[in-house]
Copies of this chain bind each other. A is one copy, B any other.
């Protein structure tokens, strides 16, 4: 499996990041990833169908929020914290500090 396209740090746009995080499931994923170095995609939101989650993984990846690393049949996911902090200082911290009940 080849590595899917990811925007470079400079290509990450604020409006895309906000739109990606402005969905309950994707916000939940970002929060789950914030406490882990790397997660296997399917383990993060077990109750949601694979096709639905595929759409959400793509939205997170294409906006620059996450990095996907395929390995065998699994896809590992991590938050692009350094890139996001460099592009939009304080944004991720303020989002992740928001009340979990909002997700």
Q: A: which residues have CB within 8 A of B?
A: 13-24, 27, 87-91, 93-95, 97-99, 102-103
Contacts and interface: CB of A to CB of B under 8 A. Distances in A.
A84 to B, nearest CB: 10
A58 B24 CA distance: 20
Contact of A99 (B14, B18, B97, B102): B14
A89 B98 CA distance: 8
Determine the main DSSP class of A at the interface with B: helix
Nearest to A89: B94
Contact of A24 (B15, B87, B99): B15
Given A14-B102, A15-B24, 20 more contacts: A14-B27, A14-B99, A15-B22, A15-B102, A15-B103, A18-B21, A18-B27, A18-B95, A19-B19, A19-B22, A20-B22, A22-B22, A88-B95, A88-B97, A88-B98, A90-B94, A90-B97, A91-B94, A91-B98, A94-B94
